[in-house]
Structure 1
Amino acid sequence: MKLYLAALLLCLLPLVPQRGHAQTVDTLVDVGGYRLHFHIIKGKGTPILFEAGGGDDARVWEQLLTPLAQVTGTTLITYDRAGFGKSEVSREADDTQHGILSGMQGLETGLKKLGYGKEIMLVAHSYGGLYSSLYAARHPKQVKAVVLLDAMLPCFATDDFLAGMMRDMQADIAKNKTEHRGRYYQTLNYPATVQAVRNAPFPASIPVMDVVAEQFFIPNPTEAARWKACHQQFVSAQPNRESLTAYGCGHYLFHENPALAVSVIAKAYAPTRGPQQRADLLQRSLRYSVEATNELKKRETDYRHSESDLNSWGYTLLRQGETQKALEIFKLNTVLHPQSGNAFDSLAEAYLTSGNKELAKANYKKSIELNPKNMNAVEVLKTL
């Protein structure tokens, strides 16, 4: 079963000075043949636009928005790309038309209709880095700063990488053609998306804060080194680009260390304000960062060796191919938490991975005994 990180910020909000109830807008905007969904927290100053990663929609940013609104006081804009979340897909678009260029035009139309077609700051995660790069290239005077959070850059997406990715994704492309049009177009057009960004180099005039996760999103040391080298190459190309490693974090670093993400975004945003406003913003950011980091450390201490912690550790070992070690961790979890159906479900999955179907069946049955609603175990047992 998947392990979901706790929403740490919920208990931290009182630590930041209250700025009243900001007006929130949740709307669908016709951008020419289809509608894009925008979620906006209104404020004052240069707006910040968030670009989600591939497969994600605007909801991925939810836990950052309240502290960022309170720290910066500015307008925050998240949206769903065509075919994701609440956004529609153009019925007239074919496979070649529904790429990053049409997506960019839809975004630009939507922002203009909402009154945000001028100065803006960009924050991007993963695949969203390609969208932010292209938007910056198309609007070099309007984009005041960019924050990249473990974002995809075209120097990583080499022709060999793209060819291998497209080979591996053929089954998903065929499946999503009927099940998820947004992902279908996104994957199908990935090489064309990268080429469009290559053809529009990132403007040298725009300052960038590039945050890279310490832990690469797949257990491949060669690709991890190439990812970091690509980001180093990008940052070193211009003096107004800074790099930062998010230690102890994986790809969704803004979920694992929200205090870091808020502080980095606030720092990048500060130059858009006047001297006094800038000083106040940085003071609020510092207070939030100190208190949030302290609370995070406390929660890490409470979390250590909990059922969820051991479960997460076991799955990490399983993904790394260390099946025997994973089995020992999962076994320990069932000993420490004998009434947890989830612990026995995880142990059963590890046994199944190791090829031991009999012990897998026994532990799936134990999981169902403890939790009759565990339909995952029921379905797996049918196949065994």
Structure 2
Amino acid sequence: MVNADGHRLAFHVTPGRLPAIVLDAGGGLDSSYWKNLVPELAAATGSEIITYDRAGLGDSDEVPGPWKVESAVSDLEIGLRALDVTGNVVLVSHSQAGEVATCFARANPRLLSGAVLVDASLPELYTDEEIARLAAANKPQVDAARKDPSTKENRQLIATAENYVPMHRAYHQVAWPDSVPATVIVSEKTPFDGSPEDARLWRDAAAAFVKAGPDRTLVTAVGSSHDIPIERPGLVLGEIEKMAAARG
């Protein structure tokens, strides 16, 4: 447990060599999302493997108020310092954790030796038009959560919704640093399997991100839904192995 600005965060460490591989799960998910991949990844790479629960999830303390990506970045920075991880990190981020990864990379480019972004939320998606579409589409789920705030998952959904529009307008302006190589794995079905337009924009955002800088690779998880680490673990493992081997 790591103390971070008045709240505690749960980190789980499998010892190993550098590069250290940090796994960050998507919105509403905790470190247990990676439980099947961690032992395979440790055996395949020999790297130190770190998973953690963002504030309000898993064994980590909740923090009142709207969810802020800056706070999530600060929490990860504090956690890695507490674990004496000061460089040569491969960051693996799924879904909403892509927002943490992008802002973390922007603030700490020298700490990262590479990243694997797994169907990650990327800045290129969030035009004003798309933010409005997504906020409207999410409203019924958020309203239902507000009627039943008894679970951590619902409280996190509410916290994210409270700051959704201004946060994503700001996120749209964040650029990934050219010095950090990145592999983007995009799902064929995307989080918007029932909305062809949003699905297209999600895939287009991944392609635009890759084209926007050097040392970026786009991989499509053919036939997969948004849950690529669950449905295509071998693909995710292989891409992390490649990144770790290149930076080891």
Question: Normalized per residue, which structure has more helix?
Answer: 1
Query: TM-score scaled to structure 1, two decimals?
Result: 0.60
Query: TM-score scaled to structure 2, two decimals?
Result: 0.90
Q: Secondary structure at the match of 1:129?
A: helix
Q: Structure 1's 82 and 203: CA in aligned 2 closer, same or farther, altered over 3 A?
A: same
Kept in 1: contact 2:106–2:176 (CA 8 A): yes
Q: How many residues align?
A: 242
Specify which of 179, 196, 210 is matched with residue 235 of structure 1: 210
Is 2:238 the counterpart of 1:266?
A: no
1:352-379 CA distance string (max 9 Å, x none): xxxxxxxxxxxxxxxxxxxxxxxxxxxx
Q: Secondary structure at the match of 2:109?
A: coil
Whole-Å Cα distance in 2 between the matches of residues 156 and 175 of structure 1?
30
Kept in 2: contact 1:99–1:192 (CA 8 A): no
Specify which of 161, 175, 188 is matched with residue 201 of structure 1: 175
Is 2:22 the counterpart of 1:49?
A: yes
Q: Which runs of 4+ in 1 moved over 4 A?
A: none
Specify which of 126, 130, 133 is matched with residue 95 of structure 2: 126
Instruction: Output the amino acid matched with 1:111.
Output: L
Q: Which runs of 5+ in 1 are unaligned?
A: 1-27, 274-384
1:24 matched to which residue of 2? none
Is 2:211 the counterpart of 1:211?
A: no
Whole-Å Cα distance in 1 between the matches of residues 10 and 170 of structure 2?
24
Q: Secondary structure at the match of 2:210?
A: helix
Whole-Å Cα distance in 2 between the matches of residues 36 and 176 of structure 1?
25
Specify which of 223, 233, 244 is matched with residue 198 of structure 2: 223
Specify which of 52, 60, 68 is matched with residue 41 of structure 2: 68
Q: Per-residue deviation at 1:257?
A: 1.6
Cα RMSD (Å): 1.8
Q: Secondary structure at the match of 1:203?
A: coil
Instruction: Output the amino acid matched with 1:162.
Output: I
Of all paired residues, the percent bearing the same amino acid is 32
Question: Normalized per residue, which structure has more strand?
Answer: 2
Q: Secondary structure at the match of 1:239?
A: coil
Whole-Å Cα distance in 1 between the matches of residues 70 and 145 of structure 2?
20
1:17 matched to which residue of 2? none
Whole-Å Cα distance in 2 between the matches of residues 195 and 119 of structure 1?
31
Larger Rg: 1
Q: Secondary structure at the match of 2:197?
A: helix
Kept in 2: contact 1:57–1:84 (CA 8 A): yes
Kept in 2: contact 1:43–1:74 (CA 8 A): yes
Is 2:143 the counterpart of 1:171?
A: yes
Is 2:160 the counterpart of 1:186?
A: yes
Whole-Å Cα distance in 2 between the matches of residues 255 and 215 of structure 1?
14
Q: Per-residue deviation at 1:178?
A: 5.1
Q: Per-residue deviation at 1:38?
A: 0.9
